[in-house]
Structure 1
Amino acid sequence: MSDLVRSTLAGIRTVDDMVRAFSDEERCRRLMESMIWPTGRVCPACGYRRSIALAGRDMGNWRARPGLYQCSNGSCRFQFTVTTRTPLHSTKLPLATWLKALWLTLQSDKGLSSVRLAEALGVSQPTAWRMGHALRLMMARETQLEGTVEIDEFYLGGRPRKQRDTPPVGRGRKGQKRTTKACVLAVVERPRDAEIGTVAGGARASVVVDLSAVETERVLEKEIDVAATHLMSDAWSTFAAVGQSFAAHDTVQHAKREYARGTVHANSVEGFNSRVRRTVAGVFHHISPEHADLYFHEMGFRWSQRVVAGQTTRRSPRGREHVRTLWDRIPPAMQLVAVLRTAVGRQLRRTRNGSISIKSPIAAFCL
């Protein structure tokens, strides 16, 4: 972390601190360059590490703007800025506005709706909606989870509206779907240990077609290192089938009112599922299955930005004692570094109808 990044982010504690830190556009550009390129500029086209600054140079009919660089690779010569081939590609908004939006999003416990973000930044709601998705795309994590990992499923959506001449779902009619809700598979990695300062494990969620063994295995192979994972789940038949390919697999029998057996439980992933439901109901009110994975990127990133603060003993209403882990959140300003380091390579574009299209979800040259 450069001295500029450390000195700037360490002083941000309140909204006033954030406004002062992100008030100068040139400083914001240098700050963003230091976070996206922590080891020096990297060409987003070929990955070459040497480039020249074109700022102020006479380019014929125009003069190069600040922050424009050209790759020194003789076979490339690609011209780029700090936002090229990132979710901020070709943005017309000041970089200060983007940094403010990112800090406000991370500072909130469960995120900000596009309406509230638009009010805070002074932009339109459609612009804030696209900004929010660009920030969520940068929050996606690609490293596979390992160690002790819990899995569970939940359904996204509310009760369908009653429609004339359409029978309600879930009445056992032959060939009829039991629900119109979107099925989501959630995965949570437990922290390595309970020592103070240990970072929380990762959390992922994905909309799936169904809970078949084939579909579940497809998602788990993408998100989890199967050979290095001890899987924890309930006794659902699909989880029992896919669990055979893992290094180890333990289950709890919810049907028999068994929710924990020593260290065998799925309480962490159920807690994440509960947080997702509360976030959707309290902040966004509704998210479509089409864009749900982007919202899950944000929720999973926020889940992982915590460190163990200690443990405490609680007593249940029935008099049973159990140990609970206490967590502290990583300061939102310091989370900016983790978000922007994986920006290059991920590309999001605006469509003609005002929606978004993800051109590339994979980060490149993340150093």
Structure 2
Amino acid sequence: MKRESERAIEFRASFPDEESAIRYYEKIRWDGNIVSPFDPASKVYKCANGKYKCKNTGKYFTYRTGTFFANSKLPLRHWLYAMTMLLNHKRGISSYQLADDLGISQKTAWSMLHKIRTAMGMENNKTLSGEVEIDETFVGGKNKNRHKDKKVEKCQGRSYKDKVPVFGILERGGNLVARVVPNTQSKTLVPIIKEHVKEGSVVYTDGWEYTGLVDGYVQRSVDHEKHFYGITYATDFGEIITVSTNGIENAWSHFKRMIFGIYYHVSKKYMQRYVDEFVFRFNTRNFSNSQRFNLLLRNIA
């Protein structure tokens, strides 16, 4: 793994000044053909100080207009650095570390990272098909690690008292979709499955049967309560079928390592944003660093 100093050196080489950062972002956003955010059909004039003018509306705009950069006083290079560090660290970067790197307050760094995560969330809205695995996980601390005055009774396992339930759908060999949910009842989860999984797909579960999927989907399950974790067999037609939810469970293990290894504590209020960050990283796992970086910039634009 590269040292942090090497990453910083590479970043400075790619974006030596603010102007180079702006030109790079404009290329990603407009690909050399500046488009007015007020009237896409309008002719655009280039003005002084990096501004552009929309002919039809008479309004001025910059590369920041229409993005969350618009209300920020920070240089674009700060934003690009934050994205680079967040993406290049396999488990993310804390706001304290980013604040130290950029010489800004922790509060500002925290706000920057959350805005970036909103752009990452665009990749957490895929349509899945074929064979998909579904499972829930519960994110929260363990009672044994709490002070005796803060222990919560009967909170282990699938309790919601001190944990946040997260529901995920994984297309085998493909993308992941994950949502923070209020509960794991069928009436809550089935609409999410129907929204993101094409009818006719095979749905693998960990022992739970969803009556709402009977008509449009094929359900296969493994009963973990009986210590049965999967089986592979061949049909009479030579089709190899693997009944398990090991793929989605492996994704959850990586997600929890991200939370507990970097962020330590995540509030329930912002859990979905951290889920979006993880899903973005998971769904772009076969991308190069530059491909992932450019995708994020396009999402922001």
What TM-score, normalized by structure 1, do the two folds share? 0.69
Find 2:106's aligned residue among 121, 125, 144: 125
Indicate the SS of the match to 1:53: strand
Give the conservation status (yes or no) of the 8 Å contact 2:87–2:292.
yes
Q: Could you tell me how far 1:221 is from its partner in structure 2?
A: 3.5
The range that moved more, 106-115 or 88-97, is: 88-97
Indicate the SS of the match to 1:306: coil
Indicate the SS of the match to 2:202: strand
Alignment match, 2:208: 236
Question: Are residues 1:25 and 2:13 paired?
Answer: no
Q: 1:250 to 1:90 in 2, by over 3 A?
A: same
Structure 2: state its 5+ residue gaps.
Answer: 1-5, 233-241
Alignment match, 1:152: 135
Alignment match, 1:92: 73
Alignment match, 2:296: 339
Computed over aligned residues only, the root mean square deviation of the Cα atoms, in angstroms, reads: 2.6
Structure 1: state its 5+ residue gaps.
Answer: 1-12, 57-64, 172-176, 192-200, 308-329, 345-367
| Structure 1 or 2: more strand by fraction | 1
The count of aligned residue pairs is 281
Residue type of the partner of 1:270?
A: E
Question: Are residues 1:301 and 2:280 paired?
Answer: yes
Alignment match, 2:172: 190
Structure 2 distance, partners of 1:122, 1:303, is 30
Q: 1:146 to 1:81 in 2, by over 3 A?
A: farther
Indicate the SS of the match to 2:269: coil
Q: Could you tell me how far 1:117 is from its partner in structure 2?
A: 1.1
Give the conservation status (yes or no) of the 8 Å contact 1:136–1:294.
yes
Q: Could you tell me how far 1:185 is from its partner in structure 2?
A: 0.6
Alignment match, 1:71: 54
Find 1:248's aligned residue among 206, 209, 218: 218
Q: Could you tell me how far 1:272 is from its partner in structure 2?
A: 1.0
Question: Are residues 1:219 and 2:192 paired?
Answer: yes
Give the conservation status (yes or no) of the 8 Å contact 2:134–2:168.
yes
Alignment match, 2:244: 265
Question: Are residues 1:52 and 2:33 paired?
Answer: no
Alignment match, 1:4: none
Residue type of the partner of 2:164?
A: A
Structure 2 distance, partners of 1:135, 1:166, is 34
Structure 1 distance, partners of 2:152, 2:226, is 34
Alignment match, 1:103: 84
Structure 1 distance, partners of 2:294, 2:134, is 29
Structure 2 distance, partners of 1:227, 1:82, is 41
Q: 1:101 to 1:236 in 2, by over 3 A?
A: same
Q: Could you tell me how far 1:216 is from its partner in structure 2?
A: 0.8
